[in-house]
Amino acid sequence: MVLQPGLFYGGGISIFFFLIWLGCIGLGIFAFILFVKLALRAITALDLYNHAKNLEIRERYESVKKDDNV
């Protein structure tokens, strides 16, 4: 009966490679979370910008119509 060495011993995956792989997975998840937070913040900023521009346009064009009616 021939016993094979374990996955981390001998010809398998080394522990160092496994730790680097886990680190890369962790950094990838962290980067994805930061990207989602950045995207949500950008959407909020865009909504605020659109709201401000809509108010500016409404004040400019509706005020002209209000003065014409008086």
Q: Per-block average pLDDT, block size 10, for the chain (70 residues)? A: 58 79 96 98 96 89 60
Residue corresponding to tokens 């409404």: 58
pTM score above 0.75: no
Check if the beta carbon of residue 18 is closer than 8 Å to that of residue 8.
yes
**Residues in the chain, overall count:** 70
Supply the pLDDT for residue 7: 61
Instruction: Write the CB contacts of 5 (distance below 8 Å, at least 6 apart in sequence).
Output: 11, 12
For 16, 17, 44, 51, 57, the CA distances from 24, given in Å and listed in that order, are: 12, 11, 30, 40, 49
